[in-house]
C-alpha cells in the first residue's frame, strides 16, 4: 500500500465518521422535539402548565417566567 492509497483511505474513514456524527445530531434534535420541547419553558426548562398550554397555544415560557418577563419589561 503506497502513501496515496493510505491517505485516501484515511480521508474516507474521516468522512464516514463526520457523517455518522452529523446523522446522530439530527436524530437527537428530532428526538428532543418529539419529547415535547414545545411544552418546556425556554427560560427555566420546566414543563409549562397544561392549562397554560391550552389557553396560550404558542407560549414558550411557564407562568412564573412569563410573569417575571412582564415585571421586568420597561
Ligand atoms: Zn419558566
pLDDT value at residue 37: 46
Task: Tell me which residue has cell 419529547.
Answer: 35
Burial class (CB in 10 A: 0-12, 13-18, 19+), 53: middle
Dist. CA 3 → ligand 1 center (Å): 57
Dist. CA 32 → ligand 1 center (Å): 18
> What whole-number distance in Å separates Cα of residue 38 and Cα of residue 53?
10
> Is the distance from CB of 63 to CB of 49 less than 8 angstroms?
yes
Instruction: Spell out which residues have Cβ within 5 A of ligand 1, the ion.
Output: 41, 43-44, 62, 65
| pLDDT one digit per residue (tens) for the chain, 74 residues | 678 888 999 999 989 988 888 888 877 776 655 554 468 899 999 988 888 888 887 788 999 999 999 998 77
Amino acid at each position: 500500500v503506497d502513501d496515496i492509497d493510505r491517505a485516501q483511505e484515511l480521508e474516507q474513514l474521516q468522512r464516514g465518521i463526520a457523517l455518522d456524527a452529523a446523522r446522530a445530531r439530527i436524530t437527537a434534535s428530532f428526538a428532543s422535539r418529539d419529547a415535547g420541547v414545545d411544552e418546556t419553558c425556554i427560560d427555566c426548562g420546566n414543563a409549562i402548565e397544561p392549562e397554560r398550554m391550552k389557553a396560550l397555544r404558542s407560549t414558550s415560557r411557564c407562568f412564573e417566567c412569563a410573569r417575571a418577563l412582564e415585571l421586568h419589561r420597561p
